[in-house]
Amino acid sequence: MAGFESAPRAPGSAARRRFRRVRARSHRVADRPDRPDPEDQAQPLDPRDERLGPGAVADDRDRRQQQRAADRPGDRGAPERPPLVADPLGAGLRDRDRSRPAGEVVGEADVGPADETGPERQREPDVGRGQPVRGLGDRAPVQVDHGRRQQQQVADRQQQQDDRAGAWPAEDVAQGQAPGEQHPEGDLADGDQRDEHPPTAWRPSGPVPSAGGLKRGPPNGGAGAPAGATEGRTAAPPARGADRSRPARPIRRARRGTPSRAAPPSILAPMLVAIDGPVGAGKSTVARAVAQRLGFTYLDTGAMYRCVALAAIEDEAADHVRDVAVLHIDFEGDRVLLDHSEVTEAIRAPEVSRRSSQVAADPHVREALVDRQRKLTERGDWVAEGRDIGTVVRPDAELKVFLTASDEERAARRAAQTGRGLEQELADLRERDLRDRTREASPLRRAEDAVELDTTGLAFEQVVERIAALVAEVRQAANRERT
Ligand SMILES: Nc1ncnc2c1ncn2[C@@H]1O[C@H](COP(=O)(O)OP(=O)(O)OP(=O)(O)O)[C@@H](O)[C@H]1O
Ligand SMILES: Nc1ccn([C@H]2C[C@H](O)[C@@H](COP(=O)(O)O)O2)c(=O)n1
Protein backbone atom coordinates (compact mmCIF):
# COMPACT_ATOMS: atom_id res chain seq x y z
CA MET A 1 0.00 0.00 0.00
CA ALA A 2 1.28 3.19 0.95
CA GLY A 3 4.61 4.77 0.98
CA PHE A 4 5.91 8.21 1.21
CA GLU A 5 8.78 8.92 -0.97
CA SER A 6 10.90 11.92 -0.93
CA ALA A 7 11.15 14.37 -3.72
CA PRO A 8 14.56 14.12 -5.36
CA ARG A 9 17.23 15.80 -3.27
CA ALA A 10 20.85 16.56 -3.91
CA PRO A 11 23.10 13.95 -2.30
CA GLY A 12 24.61 15.17 0.92
CA SER A 13 22.28 18.15 1.06
CA ALA A 14 21.35 19.75 4.34
CA ALA A 15 17.89 18.32 3.94
CA ARG A 16 19.30 14.86 3.62
CA ARG A 17 21.39 15.25 6.75
CA ARG A 18 18.43 16.66 8.58
CA PHE A 19 16.32 13.69 7.69
CA ARG A 20 18.87 11.08 8.67
CA ARG A 21 17.22 9.10 11.31
CA VAL A 22 17.64 6.80 14.25
CA ARG A 23 15.30 3.95 14.63
CA ALA A 24 15.29 2.52 18.09
CA ARG A 25 12.55 -0.03 17.81
CA SER A 26 12.68 -1.15 14.27
CA HIS A 27 15.07 -3.44 12.55
CA ARG A 28 16.28 -3.50 9.04
CA VAL A 29 14.07 -5.83 7.07
CA ALA A 30 16.98 -7.90 5.87
CA ASP A 31 18.00 -8.43 9.49
CA ARG A 32 14.72 -9.94 10.49
CA PRO A 33 15.00 -13.71 10.74
CA ASP A 34 11.49 -13.84 12.15
CA ARG A 35 9.91 -12.54 9.01
CA PRO A 36 6.59 -14.33 8.72
CA ASP A 37 6.35 -16.82 5.96
CA PRO A 38 3.79 -16.27 3.22
CA GLU A 39 1.72 -19.20 4.45
CA ASP A 40 1.23 -17.44 7.75
CA GLN A 41 0.38 -14.22 6.03
CA ALA A 42 -2.29 -15.93 4.04
CA GLN A 43 -4.16 -16.87 7.18
CA PRO A 44 -6.79 -14.42 8.32
CA LEU A 45 -6.47 -13.25 11.88
CA ASP A 46 -8.93 -14.95 14.11
CA PRO A 47 -9.94 -12.60 16.89
CA ARG A 48 -11.12 -15.45 19.02
CA ASP A 49 -7.60 -16.68 19.38
CA GLU A 50 -6.63 -13.31 20.72
CA ARG A 51 -9.00 -13.77 23.59
CA LEU A 52 -7.44 -16.92 24.79
CA GLY A 53 -7.29 -15.78 28.31
CA PRO A 54 -4.93 -14.28 30.82
CA GLY A 55 -1.38 -13.96 29.69
CA ALA A 56 -2.12 -15.15 26.19
CA VAL A 57 -0.78 -11.89 24.87
CA ALA A 58 1.61 -10.16 27.15
CA ASP A 59 2.29 -7.13 25.09
CA ASP A 60 0.78 -5.27 22.21
CA ARG A 61 3.86 -5.86 20.11
CA ASP A 62 3.61 -9.59 20.56
CA ARG A 63 0.05 -9.88 19.50
CA ARG A 64 0.58 -10.56 15.85
CA GLN A 65 3.19 -13.23 16.43
CA GLN A 66 0.97 -14.78 19.06
CA GLN A 67 -1.92 -14.60 16.66
CA ARG A 68 0.09 -16.43 14.07
CA ALA A 69 1.12 -18.97 16.62
CA ALA A 70 -2.48 -19.36 17.70
CA ASP A 71 -3.50 -19.92 14.11
CA ARG A 72 -1.46 -23.09 13.97
CA PRO A 73 -3.28 -26.40 14.29
CA GLY A 74 -3.61 -27.73 17.78
CA ASP A 75 -4.22 -24.37 19.36
CA ARG A 76 -7.05 -23.75 21.66
CA GLY A 77 -10.42 -23.20 20.11
CA ALA A 78 -12.52 -20.11 20.52
CA PRO A 79 -14.75 -19.52 23.46
CA GLU A 80 -18.40 -19.47 22.64
CA ARG A 81 -19.81 -16.11 21.82
CA PRO A 82 -23.05 -14.89 23.30
CA PRO A 83 -25.98 -15.34 20.97
CA LEU A 84 -27.00 -12.69 18.54
CA VAL A 85 -29.30 -10.33 20.37
CA ALA A 86 -30.59 -8.23 17.56
CA ASP A 87 -30.28 -7.97 13.85
CA PRO A 88 -27.69 -5.29 13.42
CA LEU A 89 -28.55 -5.01 9.78
CA GLY A 90 -32.17 -4.34 10.37
CA ALA A 91 -31.97 -1.11 8.51
CA GLY A 92 -30.71 -2.94 5.46
CA LEU A 93 -29.06 -1.18 2.62
CA ARG A 94 -29.94 2.37 2.02
CA ASP A 95 -30.27 4.09 -1.28
CA ARG A 96 -26.90 5.12 -2.44
CA ASP A 97 -26.14 8.60 -3.61
CA ARG A 98 -24.50 7.97 -6.93
CA SER A 99 -24.56 11.59 -7.95
CA ARG A 100 -21.28 12.28 -6.17
CA PRO A 101 -18.24 12.02 -8.34
CA ALA A 102 -15.43 9.75 -7.24
CA GLY A 103 -13.08 11.35 -4.82
CA GLU A 104 -15.30 14.28 -3.96
CA VAL A 105 -14.82 15.40 -0.40
CA VAL A 106 -18.11 15.33 1.37
CA GLY A 107 -16.77 15.24 4.87
CA GLU A 108 -14.74 17.83 6.58
CA ALA A 109 -11.36 17.19 5.11
CA ASP A 110 -9.51 20.35 5.78
CA VAL A 111 -6.89 20.49 3.13
CA GLY A 112 -4.98 23.67 3.70
CA PRO A 113 -4.13 26.04 0.90
CA ALA A 114 -0.69 25.81 -0.62
CA ASP A 115 0.63 28.84 1.18
CA GLU A 116 0.02 27.14 4.51
CA THR A 117 2.33 24.34 3.68
CA GLY A 118 5.55 26.27 3.49
CA PRO A 119 7.98 27.15 6.22
CA GLU A 120 5.30 28.78 8.33
CA ARG A 121 3.48 25.52 8.45
CA GLN A 122 6.62 23.73 9.49
CA ARG A 123 6.78 25.72 12.66
CA GLU A 124 3.31 24.80 13.71
CA PRO A 125 3.21 22.49 16.70
CA ASP A 126 1.68 19.08 16.45
CA VAL A 127 -1.70 18.72 18.05
CA GLY A 128 -0.44 16.42 20.71
CA ARG A 129 2.66 17.12 22.68
CA GLY A 130 3.79 20.14 20.84
CA GLN A 131 6.02 18.04 18.67
CA PRO A 132 6.18 19.40 15.15
CA VAL A 133 5.08 17.15 12.35
CA ARG A 134 5.83 18.91 9.16
CA GLY A 135 3.09 19.54 6.70
CA LEU A 136 3.20 17.17 3.82
CA GLY A 137 2.50 19.91 1.36
CA ASP A 138 5.88 21.56 1.60
CA ARG A 139 7.45 19.07 -0.73
CA ALA A 140 6.55 17.52 -3.99
CA PRO A 141 3.48 15.28 -3.78
CA VAL A 142 4.20 12.18 -1.77
CA GLN A 143 4.26 8.84 -3.45
CA VAL A 144 3.83 5.35 -2.18
CA ASP A 145 6.28 2.82 -3.37
CA HIS A 146 4.30 -0.17 -2.58
CA GLY A 147 1.29 1.46 -4.14
CA ARG A 148 3.14 1.60 -7.42
CA ARG A 149 4.18 -2.01 -7.17
CA GLN A 150 0.73 -3.05 -6.25
CA GLN A 151 -0.86 -1.05 -9.02
CA GLN A 152 1.58 -2.72 -11.39
CA GLN A 153 0.47 -6.12 -10.16
CA VAL A 154 -3.09 -5.05 -10.60
CA ALA A 155 -2.34 -3.82 -14.11
CA ASP A 156 -0.51 -7.06 -14.99
CA ARG A 157 -3.46 -9.11 -13.88
CA GLN A 158 -5.76 -6.90 -15.87
CA GLN A 159 -3.53 -7.32 -18.89
CA GLN A 160 -3.80 -11.08 -18.59
CA GLN A 161 -7.54 -10.79 -18.48
CA ASP A 162 -7.44 -8.43 -21.44
CA ASP A 163 -5.29 -10.88 -23.36
CA ARG A 164 -7.84 -13.58 -22.77
CA ALA A 165 -10.67 -11.30 -23.66
CA GLY A 166 -8.83 -10.22 -26.78
CA ALA A 167 -9.47 -13.65 -28.24
CA TRP A 168 -13.16 -13.32 -27.76
CA PRO A 169 -15.17 -12.74 -30.90
CA ALA A 170 -16.74 -9.33 -30.73
CA GLU A 171 -20.22 -10.69 -31.23
CA ASP A 172 -19.86 -13.07 -28.28
CA VAL A 173 -18.61 -10.32 -26.04
CA ALA A 174 -21.44 -8.10 -27.14
CA GLN A 175 -23.88 -10.81 -26.12
CA GLY A 176 -22.20 -11.30 -22.82
CA GLN A 177 -20.66 -14.59 -23.78
CA ALA A 178 -17.22 -16.03 -23.65
CA PRO A 179 -15.83 -17.07 -27.03
CA GLY A 180 -17.42 -20.23 -28.26
CA GLU A 181 -19.80 -20.22 -25.35
CA GLN A 182 -22.56 -22.57 -26.02
CA HIS A 183 -25.96 -21.37 -26.97
CA PRO A 184 -28.74 -23.33 -25.38
CA GLU A 185 -29.54 -24.99 -28.65
CA GLY A 186 -26.02 -26.05 -29.41
CA ASP A 187 -23.28 -28.08 -27.78
CA LEU A 188 -19.76 -27.06 -27.18
CA ALA A 189 -17.24 -28.02 -29.76
CA ASP A 190 -14.23 -27.29 -27.62
CA GLY A 191 -15.60 -27.19 -24.09
CA ASP A 192 -12.56 -28.71 -22.43
CA GLN A 193 -10.47 -25.83 -23.42
CA ARG A 194 -12.90 -23.48 -21.73
CA ASP A 195 -13.16 -25.43 -18.51
CA GLU A 196 -10.11 -23.72 -17.20
CA HIS A 197 -11.86 -22.62 -14.04
CA PRO A 198 -13.17 -25.12 -11.56
CA PRO A 199 -16.92 -25.25 -11.37
CA THR A 200 -16.85 -23.33 -8.13
CA ALA A 201 -19.10 -20.36 -8.41
CA TRP A 202 -16.35 -17.83 -8.05
CA ARG A 203 -12.75 -17.59 -7.12
CA PRO A 204 -10.12 -14.93 -7.10
CA SER A 205 -7.64 -15.00 -9.89
CA GLY A 206 -4.49 -16.38 -8.35
CA PRO A 207 -2.82 -14.74 -5.40
CA VAL A 208 -4.90 -12.28 -3.48
CA PRO A 209 -3.32 -8.97 -2.71
CA SER A 210 -3.76 -8.00 0.88
CA ALA A 211 -2.57 -5.14 2.98
CA GLY A 212 -0.59 -4.16 -0.01
CA GLY A 213 1.01 -7.50 -0.70
CA LEU A 214 0.09 -10.65 -2.43
CA LYS A 215 -1.72 -13.30 -0.49
CA ARG A 216 -2.95 -16.65 -1.45
CA GLY A 217 -6.63 -16.69 -2.12
CA PRO A 218 -9.06 -19.00 -0.38
CA PRO A 219 -8.92 -22.48 -1.86
CA ASN A 220 -12.22 -22.22 -3.63
CA GLY A 221 -12.96 -18.58 -3.47
CA GLY A 222 -14.67 -18.84 -0.13
CA ALA A 223 -18.34 -18.71 0.54
CA GLY A 224 -18.54 -15.09 -0.39
CA ALA A 225 -19.52 -15.82 -3.92
CA PRO A 226 -20.77 -12.68 -5.51
CA ALA A 227 -24.37 -12.53 -6.48
CA GLY A 228 -25.20 -13.90 -9.86
CA ALA A 229 -22.29 -16.29 -9.93
CA THR A 230 -24.43 -19.34 -10.20
CA GLU A 231 -23.47 -22.95 -10.13
CA GLY A 232 -22.04 -24.10 -13.35
CA ARG A 233 -20.97 -20.68 -14.37
CA THR A 234 -17.69 -19.18 -13.45
CA ALA A 235 -17.72 -15.46 -13.24
CA ALA A 236 -14.77 -13.59 -14.53
CA PRO A 237 -12.70 -12.68 -11.50
CA PRO A 238 -13.08 -9.14 -10.26
CA ALA A 239 -11.57 -6.93 -12.87
CA ARG A 240 -8.49 -5.89 -10.99
CA GLY A 241 -6.89 -2.92 -12.53
CA ALA A 242 -10.01 -2.19 -14.47
CA ASP A 243 -11.06 1.37 -14.55
CA ARG A 244 -13.87 1.58 -12.03
CA SER A 245 -16.03 3.28 -14.60
CA ARG A 246 -15.50 0.50 -17.10
CA PRO A 247 -17.93 -2.39 -17.16
CA ALA A 248 -16.33 -5.69 -16.27
CA ARG A 249 -16.13 -8.48 -18.73
CA PRO A 250 -18.96 -10.95 -19.07
CA ILE A 251 -18.78 -14.24 -17.30
CA ARG A 252 -17.13 -17.26 -18.80
CA ARG A 253 -18.88 -20.51 -19.00
CA ALA A 254 -17.40 -23.24 -16.93
CA ARG A 255 -19.45 -26.30 -17.71
CA ARG A 256 -20.35 -28.05 -20.81
CA GLY A 257 -24.00 -27.86 -21.55
CA THR A 258 -24.93 -25.00 -19.28
CA PRO A 259 -27.41 -22.86 -21.13
CA SER A 260 -26.09 -19.35 -21.42
CA ARG A 261 -29.42 -17.69 -22.05
CA ALA A 262 -31.20 -19.13 -19.07
CA ALA A 263 -29.94 -16.29 -16.92
CA PRO A 264 -28.48 -12.94 -17.85
CA PRO A 265 -24.73 -12.75 -17.49
CA SER A 266 -23.40 -11.72 -14.16
CA ILE A 267 -21.05 -8.79 -14.22
CA LEU A 268 -18.52 -8.15 -11.52
CA ALA A 269 -17.70 -4.51 -11.58
CA PRO A 270 -14.77 -3.23 -9.55
CA MET A 271 -15.85 -2.61 -6.02
CA LEU A 272 -14.73 -0.72 -2.96
CA VAL A 273 -15.92 -1.68 0.49
CA ALA A 274 -15.36 1.08 3.04
CA ILE A 275 -15.25 0.06 6.69
CA ASP A 276 -15.12 2.83 9.26
CA GLY A 277 -15.64 2.87 12.98
CA PRO A 278 -14.15 3.68 16.36
CA VAL A 279 -11.22 2.09 18.17
CA GLY A 280 -11.41 -1.66 18.61
CA ALA A 281 -14.65 -2.13 16.69
CA GLY A 282 -12.93 -4.87 14.72
CA LYS A 283 -12.27 -2.94 11.54
CA SER A 284 -8.85 -4.33 10.69
CA THR A 285 -9.44 -7.97 11.55
CA VAL A 286 -12.81 -7.98 9.85
CA ALA A 287 -11.66 -6.00 6.80
CA ARG A 288 -8.69 -8.29 6.32
CA ALA A 289 -10.87 -11.40 6.52
CA VAL A 290 -13.49 -9.99 4.17
CA ALA A 291 -10.82 -9.03 1.67
CA GLN A 292 -9.27 -12.44 1.81
CA ARG A 293 -12.57 -14.15 1.44
CA LEU A 294 -13.59 -12.09 -1.57
CA GLY A 295 -10.17 -11.82 -3.17
CA PHE A 296 -10.11 -8.07 -2.70
CA THR A 297 -7.14 -6.00 -1.63
CA TYR A 298 -7.06 -4.86 1.98
CA LEU A 299 -6.02 -1.33 2.86
CA ASP A 300 -5.22 -0.48 6.49
CA THR A 301 -5.22 3.31 6.49
CA GLY A 302 -4.70 3.44 10.26
CA ALA A 303 -1.27 1.90 9.73
CA MET A 304 -0.32 4.89 7.61
CA TYR A 305 -1.21 7.29 10.41
CA ARG A 306 0.60 5.05 12.85
CA CYS A 307 3.76 5.24 10.75
CA VAL A 308 3.62 9.03 10.82
CA ALA A 309 3.15 8.86 14.59
CA LEU A 310 6.10 6.50 15.03
CA ALA A 311 8.27 8.77 12.94
CA ALA A 312 7.30 11.73 15.12
CA ILE A 313 8.17 9.81 18.28
CA GLU A 314 11.49 8.69 16.88
CA ASP A 315 12.32 12.19 15.80
CA GLU A 316 11.59 13.41 19.29
CA ALA A 317 14.06 10.92 20.70
CA ALA A 318 16.68 11.78 18.13
CA ASP A 319 16.12 15.47 18.55
CA HIS A 320 15.46 16.18 14.95
CA VAL A 321 12.43 16.74 12.83
CA ARG A 322 11.68 14.75 9.76
CA ASP A 323 9.57 16.10 7.04
CA VAL A 324 6.62 13.79 6.79
CA ALA A 325 6.88 14.13 3.04
CA VAL A 326 10.11 12.15 3.01
CA LEU A 327 8.76 9.24 4.99
CA HIS A 328 8.66 6.03 3.08
CA ILE A 329 5.81 3.73 4.02
CA ASP A 330 5.50 0.34 2.41
CA PHE A 331 3.34 -2.69 2.88
CA GLU A 332 4.54 -6.18 2.15
CA GLY A 333 1.79 -8.63 2.88
CA ASP A 334 0.97 -8.04 6.52
CA ARG A 335 4.27 -6.33 7.19
CA VAL A 336 4.52 -2.59 7.44
CA LEU A 337 7.78 -0.89 6.57
CA LEU A 338 8.78 2.62 7.51
CA ASP A 339 11.80 3.90 5.65
CA HIS A 340 12.56 0.29 4.68
CA SER A 341 12.59 -0.99 8.26
CA GLU A 342 9.89 -3.24 9.56
CA VAL A 343 7.57 -1.52 12.02
CA THR A 344 4.64 -3.95 11.95
CA GLU A 345 4.75 -4.43 15.69
CA ALA A 346 6.27 -1.11 16.70
CA ILE A 347 3.33 0.83 15.31
CA ARG A 348 0.94 -1.12 17.56
CA ALA A 349 2.56 0.06 20.79
CA PRO A 350 0.15 1.97 23.05
CA GLU A 351 2.30 5.07 22.83
CA VAL A 352 2.06 5.01 19.05
CA SER A 353 -1.69 4.43 19.20
CA ARG A 354 -2.11 7.56 21.28
CA ARG A 355 0.20 9.58 19.13
CA SER A 356 -1.47 8.42 15.91
CA SER A 357 -4.79 9.97 16.82
CA GLN A 358 -2.88 13.20 17.47
CA VAL A 359 -1.02 13.34 14.17
CA ALA A 360 -4.22 12.27 12.41
CA ALA A 361 -5.74 15.58 13.45
CA ASP A 362 -3.18 17.48 11.41
CA PRO A 363 -4.92 18.51 8.17
CA HIS A 364 -1.68 18.39 6.23
CA VAL A 365 -0.94 14.87 7.30
CA ARG A 366 -4.47 13.92 6.32
CA GLU A 367 -4.25 15.67 2.99
CA ALA A 368 -1.28 13.65 1.84
CA LEU A 369 -2.55 10.34 3.18
CA VAL A 370 -6.04 10.77 1.81
CA ASP A 371 -4.69 11.68 -1.57
CA ARG A 372 -2.61 8.54 -1.63
CA GLN A 373 -5.45 6.38 -0.38
CA ARG A 374 -7.65 7.64 -3.19
CA LYS A 375 -5.05 6.90 -5.81
CA LEU A 376 -4.46 3.44 -4.44
CA THR A 377 -8.10 2.47 -4.44
CA GLU A 378 -9.18 3.91 -7.72
CA ARG A 379 -8.67 0.65 -9.55
CA GLY A 380 -9.56 -2.90 -8.65
CA ASP A 381 -11.45 -4.33 -5.72
CA TRP A 382 -10.68 -3.07 -2.23
CA VAL A 383 -11.69 -3.37 1.36
CA ALA A 384 -10.38 -0.17 2.94
CA GLU A 385 -10.79 0.57 6.62
CA GLY A 386 -10.23 3.61 8.78
CA ARG A 387 -12.18 6.55 10.12
CA ASP A 388 -13.02 8.53 7.01
CA ILE A 389 -13.09 6.09 4.12
CA GLY A 390 -16.81 6.35 3.50
CA THR A 391 -17.03 10.06 4.28
CA VAL A 392 -13.91 11.57 2.80
CA VAL A 393 -11.51 9.18 1.11
CA ARG A 394 -14.05 7.34 -1.02
CA PRO A 395 -17.56 8.66 -0.51
CA ASP A 396 -18.39 6.87 -3.76
CA ALA A 397 -17.64 3.44 -2.25
CA GLU A 398 -20.05 0.81 -3.45
CA LEU A 399 -20.57 -0.41 0.09
CA LYS A 400 -20.01 1.47 3.33
CA VAL A 401 -20.06 -0.25 6.67
CA PHE A 402 -19.81 1.52 10.00
CA LEU A 403 -18.65 -0.98 12.60
CA THR A 404 -19.38 -0.28 16.24
CA ALA A 405 -19.52 -2.11 19.56
CA SER A 406 -20.09 -0.98 23.12
CA ASP A 407 -17.16 0.72 24.83
CA GLU A 408 -16.93 -2.12 27.31
CA GLU A 409 -16.81 -4.81 24.66
CA ARG A 410 -14.22 -2.95 22.65
CA ALA A 411 -12.09 -2.44 25.76
CA ALA A 412 -12.43 -6.13 26.63
CA ARG A 413 -11.30 -7.11 23.14
CA ARG A 414 -8.32 -4.85 23.39
CA ALA A 415 -7.47 -6.07 26.90
CA ALA A 416 -7.50 -9.66 25.66
CA GLN A 417 -5.27 -8.57 22.84
CA THR A 418 -2.73 -6.59 24.83
CA GLY A 419 -2.86 -8.16 28.28
CA ARG A 420 -3.35 -4.73 29.82
CA GLY A 421 -6.10 -3.98 32.31
CA LEU A 422 -9.68 -3.40 31.23
CA GLU A 423 -9.87 -0.01 32.90
CA GLN A 424 -6.70 1.16 31.21
CA GLU A 425 -7.97 0.03 27.83
CA LEU A 426 -11.33 1.65 28.43
CA ALA A 427 -9.72 4.97 29.32
CA ASP A 428 -7.38 4.83 26.34
CA LEU A 429 -10.04 4.03 23.81
CA ARG A 430 -12.36 6.73 25.12
CA GLU A 431 -9.58 9.27 24.88
CA ARG A 432 -8.77 8.26 21.30
CA ASP A 433 -12.42 8.06 20.29
CA LEU A 434 -13.02 11.52 21.63
CA ARG A 435 -10.11 12.95 19.71
CA ASP A 436 -11.05 11.11 16.53
CA ARG A 437 -14.67 12.24 16.75
CA THR A 438 -14.08 15.85 17.68
CA ARG A 439 -11.13 16.88 15.57
CA GLU A 440 -11.81 19.49 12.94
CA ALA A 441 -10.28 17.64 10.05
CA SER A 442 -12.39 14.71 8.92
CA PRO A 443 -13.75 13.64 12.28
CA LEU A 444 -14.92 10.09 12.71
CA ARG A 445 -18.58 9.85 11.83
CA ARG A 446 -20.88 7.45 10.07
CA ALA A 447 -21.59 8.25 6.44
CA GLU A 448 -25.29 8.79 5.90
CA ASP A 449 -25.49 5.91 3.49
CA ALA A 450 -23.38 3.52 5.56
CA VAL A 451 -24.79 0.35 7.02
CA GLU A 452 -24.21 0.46 10.75
CA LEU A 453 -23.22 -2.88 12.15
CA ASP A 454 -23.16 -3.12 15.93
CA THR A 455 -20.87 -6.04 16.65
CA THR A 456 -21.54 -6.17 20.38
CA GLY A 457 -22.20 -9.82 21.12
CA LEU A 458 -21.43 -10.85 17.56
CA ALA A 459 -18.73 -13.35 16.83
CA PHE A 460 -16.05 -12.30 14.39
CA GLU A 461 -17.26 -14.83 11.83
CA GLN A 462 -20.77 -13.45 11.99
CA VAL A 463 -19.51 -9.99 11.22
CA VAL A 464 -17.51 -11.23 8.24
CA GLU A 465 -20.53 -13.19 7.09
CA ARG A 466 -22.76 -10.12 7.27
CA ILE A 467 -20.40 -7.99 5.26
CA ALA A 468 -19.91 -10.68 2.63
CA ALA A 469 -23.70 -10.90 2.35
CA LEU A 470 -23.91 -7.14 1.92
CA VAL A 471 -21.31 -7.30 -0.83
CA ALA A 472 -23.38 -9.93 -2.58
CA GLU A 473 -26.47 -7.80 -2.17
CA VAL A 474 -24.77 -4.76 -3.65
CA ARG A 475 -23.52 -6.78 -6.57
CA GLN A 476 -26.92 -8.24 -7.19
CA ALA A 477 -28.43 -4.77 -7.24
CA ALA A 478 -25.72 -3.55 -9.61
CA ASN A 479 -26.33 -6.45 -11.93
CA ARG A 480 -30.06 -5.82 -11.88
CA GLU A 481 -29.42 -2.22 -12.83
CA ARG A 482 -27.31 -3.30 -15.75
CA THR A 483 -29.56 -5.95 -17.20
N1 LIG B 1 -16.71 -9.54 16.47
C2 LIG B 1 -15.65 -9.65 17.27
N3 LIG B 1 -15.78 -10.29 18.40
C4 LIG B 1 -14.76 -10.39 19.25
N5 LIG B 1 -13.54 -9.86 19.04
C6 LIG B 1 -13.34 -9.21 17.93
C7 LIG B 1 -14.38 -9.06 16.99
N8 LIG B 1 -13.90 -8.32 15.97
C9 LIG B 1 -12.61 -8.04 16.28
N10 LIG B 1 -12.28 -8.60 17.45
C11 LIG B 1 -10.98 -8.49 18.16
O12 LIG B 1 -10.99 -7.22 18.77
C13 LIG B 1 -9.67 -6.68 18.75
C14 LIG B 1 -9.70 -5.34 18.07
O15 LIG B 1 -9.99 -5.53 16.70
P16 LIG B 1 -9.31 -4.66 15.59
O17 LIG B 1 -7.88 -4.43 15.89
O18 LIG B 1 -9.67 -5.28 14.29
O19 LIG B 1 -10.11 -3.30 15.79
P20 LIG B 1 -9.98 -1.98 15.01
O21 LIG B 1 -11.35 -1.46 14.83
O22 LIG B 1 -9.18 -2.14 13.78
O23 LIG B 1 -9.22 -1.09 16.06
P24 LIG B 1 -8.26 0.15 15.84
O25 LIG B 1 -9.06 1.19 15.17
O26 LIG B 1 -7.86 0.56 17.19
O27 LIG B 1 -7.11 -0.32 15.02
C28 LIG B 1 -8.82 -7.70 18.06
O29 LIG B 1 -8.22 -8.50 19.03
C30 LIG B 1 -9.77 -8.49 17.26
O31 LIG B 1 -9.29 -9.79 17.03
N1 LIG C 1 -8.62 6.69 7.99
C2 LIG C 1 -8.07 6.89 9.22
C3 LIG C 1 -7.39 5.88 9.88
C4 LIG C 1 -6.86 6.14 11.10
N5 LIG C 1 -6.99 7.36 11.64
C6 LIG C 1 -6.38 7.68 12.91
C7 LIG C 1 -7.28 7.46 14.07
C8 LIG C 1 -6.61 6.47 14.93
O9 LIG C 1 -6.57 6.96 16.26
C10 LIG C 1 -5.23 6.30 14.36
C11 LIG C 1 -4.80 4.87 14.24
O12 LIG C 1 -5.79 4.15 13.54
P13 LIG C 1 -6.09 2.59 13.85
O14 LIG C 1 -4.91 1.82 13.39
O15 LIG C 1 -6.28 2.47 15.33
O16 LIG C 1 -7.31 2.27 13.06
O17 LIG C 1 -5.24 6.88 13.09
C18 LIG C 1 -7.67 8.33 10.98
O19 LIG C 1 -7.80 9.44 11.49
N20 LIG C 1 -8.19 8.10 9.77
Domains of the chain: 271-296+381-482 (3.40.50.300), 299-380 (3.40.50.300)
Ligand 1 atom closest to Cα of residue 285: 18
SS3 content of the chain, % helix, strand, coil (to 5): 40, 10, 50
Is 150 touching ligand 1 by the criterion CB < 6 Å? no
Identify the pLDDT of residue 317: 82
Identify the pLDDT of residue 27: 32
Ligand 2 atom closest to Cα of residue 303: 14
Is 432 touching ligand 2 by the criterion CB < 6 Å? yes
Is 458 touching ligand 1 by the criterion CB < 6 Å? yes
301-318 and 363-377 helices, crossing angle to 10°: 140
Is 44 touching ligand 1 by the criterion CB < 6 Å? no
* Ligand in closest contact with the CA of 107: 2
- Is there a binding annotation on residue 277? yes
- Rounded distance between C-alpha atoms, residue 321 and residue 312, angstroms: 8
ipTM score assigned to the predicted complex: 0.98
Identify the pLDDT of residue 267: 62
**Size of the chain, expressed as the number of residues it contains:** 483
In SS3 terms, 29-76 reads as HHHCCCCCCHHHHHCCCCHHHHHCCCCCCCCHHHHHHHHHHHHCCCCC
Question: Residue 123 CB: number of other CB atoms within 10 A?
Answer: 8
- Is there a binding annotation on residue 278? yes
Identify the pLDDT of residue 480: 86
DSSP code at position 181: P
Identify the pLDDT of residue 320: 77
Identify the pLDDT of residue 334: 86
Determine the distance separating the centroid of ligand 2 and the alpha carbon of 360, expressed in angstroms.
7
Identify the pLDDT of residue 153: 53
The rounded average pLDDT for each run of 10 residues, N- to C-terminus, in the chain (483 residues) is: 32 37 32 35 35 28 43 35 29 34 28 28 25 30 41 51 33 27 27 25 28 28 29 28 37 33 61 96 96 95 96 86 80 91 95 93 91 90 97 97 98 93 95 93 95 96 97 91 79
* Strand extents, DSSP E, 250-359: 252-253, 272-276, 297-300, 329-332, 335-338, 341-342
Identify the pLDDT of residue 151: 53
Ligand 2 atom closest to Cα of residue 306: 11
- Rounded distance between C-alpha atoms, residue 358 and residue 127, angstroms: 6
Is 466 touching ligand 1 by the criterion CB < 6 Å? no
Ligand 1 mutation pick, 63, 276, 285, 292, max ligand atoms within 8 A of CB = 285
Give the residue from 207, 198, 261, 283 showing the smallest Cα distance to 232: 198
Is 436 touching ligand 2 by the criterion CB < 6 Å? yes
Ligand 1 atom closest to Cα of residue 462: 1
DSSP code at position 466: H
Tell me which residue has its CA closest to atom 11 in ligand 2: 302
Tell me which residue has its CA closest to atom 1 in ligand 1: 460
* Strand extents, DSSP E, 64-185: none
Ligand 2 mutation pick, 354, 367, 387, 391, max ligand atoms within 8 A of CB = 387
